Structure 1
Amino acid sequence: MAVTDTNSWTGIREELLRRIHDRVWEPGAQIPHEADLAEEFGCARTTVNRALRDLAESGLVIRKRRAGTRVALNPPQRATLTIPIIREEVEALGKTYRHSLLERAYQPVPPMLHGVFHASLGEDVLYLKTLHFADERPYAFEERHINLDTVPQARERKFEVSSANEWLVHNAPYSRGDLSFSALNADEDTARILDCTPGTALFTMERITWTGDAPITHVKLIFAAGYRMRSTI
């Protein structure tokens, strides 16, 4: 990576990651001091600090006061999870995909998201409800909030031809995300939407993506009974 590409903390983080992955810095090796890296990259020391903090939070480096920063000897092994395009997921099963936009509205960030979805509380976000189908059977029910400060072009999208899921994957690149998984017992409304019996246990996923420190979208997906998620490790 050229020095001109490292004018942001995310760019510096990517370069530091490259050096760790390419064994420029071996496991356990001391990483140069923040001041030295700041001079190398031609940036503020705080920018380097932000990149190193992110690597430390990922478990890839160990930071100790007065002892500096070292590459972790045993970095965490993590599953690789990519954001799937639901249309492609359905078509890979040999089924016909379509989606139906059930609701599209502008509304404030709901109180339940205030702690994790730091959009401007005085501004509206775009709220969407979408039902995804596989061979005309309900596949997944999606509730989504899109931060229009981060993705202003979403304001003009109707999401009737291409779903918000697919459009955001192609048009709103993210730098990090947070995922949570759970089982949910279908209430009467969810059972009606996903055509199952009330009380059925359903696989549920919630995801927030960010670009830098700005949230892009929060989505909650409830999958129809029988859904199986696969990942690579």
Structure 2
Amino acid sequence: MSIIETVDAEGSEAVSLHQRILSDISEKILSGAWPPGHRIPFEHELTAEYNCSRMTVNKALSQLAKAGLIERRRRSGSFVRRPQSQAAVLEIHDIRIEVEALGLAYRYQRLERLKRRSNAEDRTLLELAASGPVLALKGLHFAGQRPFAHEQRLINLAAVAEAGEEEFLDIAPGPWLIGRVPWSQAEHRIRAIAASDHIADVLDIEAGAPCLVVERRTWSAEHPVTHVRFIYPAESHTLVARFTPSQG
């Protein structure tokens, strides 16, 4: 279905302006002139540019959002929507590769780093039998200028002692671990949450917006290595699993 459709309006001039706004904005997006994350002019700016009513502009932007070309954020305005990414459920993948597959620049920002003795929650998450040293990390993965995923990770330093000396400023902990510790078993847990005020602020989304949470634990032989929790804005991420019939 074309995003340019006839709408109810008073007079053919309003219809023509509506279609012109749709055509102009969609052409800029589809041509790449306005890349993912680009801010669309505010409604009052488009009203002045096209010399039309705010209602005509609002209808055009609503239709572009419905078509999946833009996303509208309360108080922030409208932005070119990022392509939806896909990640395999049964794989341990590098988020950098996932972001670059969308044609966007990748960047990782470390938010927190703390080396300490494990507490009761840490031992539950890592399935540790006794207290020991852990490294707690928080970080943010970017796709272009937009936050892509929030990462909260625990590393069992009894299994990966050298991680305690790594700052994780130039590289995310995921690919660093994959390059150094052969994992023998992994577990994924997937659920949906509503963004808390903190997560909404970090990911630049509305508080209460749906988010996808992927939690993963990995082991090397019988040793727990890491527990990580990724939080993605739900509208920009899809998980995919491919499998075959059981031969048992």
TM above 0.5: yes
Q: Does 2:154 match 1:150?
A: no
After superposition, residues 149-228 of structure 1 pair within 5 angstroms as 149-226=158-235, 227-228=237-238
Residue pair 1:108, 1:121 contacting (<8 A) in 2 also: no
In structure 1, C-alpha distance between the alignment counterparts of 2:174 and 2:134, rounded to whole Å: 16
Residue 205 of structure 1 and its aligned partner are, at CA, apart by 0.7
Residue pair 2:125, 2:227 contacting (<8 A) in 1 also: no
Task: Give the 3-state SS of the residue equivalent to 1:217 in structure 2.
Answer: strand
In structure 2, C-alpha distance between the alignment counterparts of 1:139 and 1:115, rounded to whole Å: 27
Match of 1:101 in 2: 110
Q: Does 2:230 match 1:230?
A: no
Residue 126 of structure 1 and its aligned partner are, at CA, apart by 0.4
- Partner of residue 124 from structure 1, selected from 133, 141, 147: 133
| Moved >6 Å (runs of 4+) | none
Residue 155 of structure 1 and its aligned partner are, at CA, apart by 1.3
Residue 164 of structure 1 and its aligned partner are, at CA, apart by 0.3
Residue pair 1:140, 1:222 contacting (<8 A) in 2 also: yes
Residue pair 1:174, 1:210 contacting (<8 A) in 2 also: yes
Residue pair 2:122, 2:154 contacting (<8 A) in 1 also: no
Larger gyration radius, structure 1 or structure 2? 2
Residue 116 of structure 1 and its aligned partner are, at CA, apart by 4.7
User: Which 5+ residue runs of structure 2 have no aligned equivalent?
Assistant: 1-87, 244-248
Task: Give the 3-state SS of the residue equivalent to 1:171 in structure 2.
Answer: coil
**Percent of aligned pairs sharing the same letter:** 36
- Greater mean alpha carbon deviation, residues 164-173 or residues 111-120: 111-120
Residue 165 of structure 1 and its aligned partner are, at CA, apart by 1.1
Alignment length, in residue pairs? 155
Residue pair 1:118, 1:214 contacting (<8 A) in 2 also: no
C-alpha distance 201-80 of structure 1, shift in aligned 2 (>3 A): closer
Residue pair 1:126, 1:147 contacting (<8 A) in 2 also: yes
- Greater mean alpha carbon deviation, residues 220-229 or residues 191-200: 220-229
- Partner of residue 91 from structure 2, selected from 82, 95, 111: 82
After superposition, residues 10-29 of structure 1 pair within 5 angstroms as none
Task: Give the 3-state SS of the residue equivalent to 2:239 in structure 1.
Answer: coil
Q: Report Cα offsets for 1:33-84 as digits up to 9, x if no partner.
A: xxxxxxxxxxxxxxxxxxxxxxxxxxxxxxxxxxxxxxxxxxxxxx871101
- Greater mean alpha carbon deviation, residues 102-111 or residues 170-179: 102-111
In structure 2, C-alpha distance between the alignment counterparts of 1:123 and 1:114, rounded to whole Å: 9
User: Which 5+ residue runs of structure 1 have no aligned equivalent?
Assistant: 1-78
Residue 120 of structure 1 and its aligned partner are, at CA, apart by 6.4
Task: Give the 3-state SS of the residue equivalent to 1:82 in structure 2.
Answer: coil
Residue 160 of structure 1 and its aligned partner are, at CA, apart by 0.9
In structure 1, C-alpha distance between the alignment counterparts of 2:206 and 2:156, rounded to whole Å: 34
